A and B are shown apart, each in its own frame.
Chain A
Amino acid sequence: MEVLLDILSGILLAAGSFFILVGAIGLIRLPDVFARMHGAGVTDTLGAALFIGGLMLQSGLSLITVKLLLILVFFFFASPTSSYALANAALSQGLKPWSRDEKAKDEKEGAS
Chain B
Amino acid sequence: MMFAAATAALCVAMLLALVRALLGPTLFDRVLAVNSFGTKTVLMIAMLGFLTDRPDFTDIALLYALINFVGTLAVLKFFRYGSFARPGGRAQQGEGE
Contacts and interface: CB of A to CB of B under 8 A. Distances in A.
A20 B28 CA distance: 20
A47 B58 CA distance: 17
B19 A28 contact: yes
Interface residues of B, number: 45
Interface residues of A, number: 47
B9 A20 contact: yes
B2 A10 contact: yes
Contacts, number: 131
A37 interface: yes
A31 B52 CA distance: 39
Contacts of A71: 42, 46, 58, 61-62, 65
Interface in A22-54: 23-25, 27-28, 33, 36-37, 39-40, 43-44, 47-48, 51-52, 54
Interface string A75-99: 1001101100110011011010000
A51 B36 CA distance: 15
Contacts of B39: 40, 43-44, 48, 75, 79
Interface of B: 2-3, 5-6, 9-10, 12-14, 16-17, 19-20, 26, 28-29, 31-33, 35-36, 39-40, 42-43, 46-47, 50, 55-56, 58-59, 61-62, 65-66, 68-69, 72-73, 76, 79-80, 93, 97
Q: Which 5 A-B pairs have the closest CB atoms?
A: A17-B9, A24-B13, A24-B16, A78-B69, A67-B58
Interface of A: 9-10, 13-14, 16-18, 20-21, 23-25, 27-28, 33, 36-37, 39-40, 43-44, 47-48, 51-52, 54-55, 58-59, 64, 67-68, 70-71, 74-75, 78-79, 81-82, 85-86, 89-90, 92-93, 95
